Amino acid sequence: MGLRDALMEVDVAHSRETWTEALDKLEDALSLARRQRYRGLRVIHGVGRGGAGGSKSGASQNWDGPGRIRREVLSYLEQALADSDASLEPEPHNPGAHTVIF
């Protein structure tokens, strides 16, 4: 049985997820997409709210600031796909999404 032609889609950033909830959602979606033999997984991670973020005083780094989910998702996917034949591709006209191709 071959792969489906369709991509499965998961949005991990637009239902008020914390970054840890987003990663849990991503892990579940990757597993389901592989089990159900989708061609790949379209991951909507958003770009974050606002600009660069961070503290002006330099007292602490803003690890929970804008773009945290995007950063964590991309880092996770790069590590998770490193030893597989899957590839990670940015969406050409949407910086808030990437596609994993199995």
Whether pTM > 0.85 for this model: the answer is no
Residue 53 resides in a domain: no
* CATH number of residue 74's parent domain: 3.30.1370.110
Residue 12 lies in domain? 7-48+64-101
Q: How many CA atoms lie within 13 A of 96 on its CB side?
A: 13
Residue 2 resides in a domain: no
Residue 56 resides in a domain: no
The 10s digit of each residue's pLDDT in 31-76 is: 999 999 999 999 999 998 754 443 333 333 444 567 999 999 999 9
Total count of domains within the chain: 1
Residue 55 resides in a domain: no
Residue 82 resides in a domain: yes
The CA angle 82-86-87, to the nearest 5 degrees, is: 85
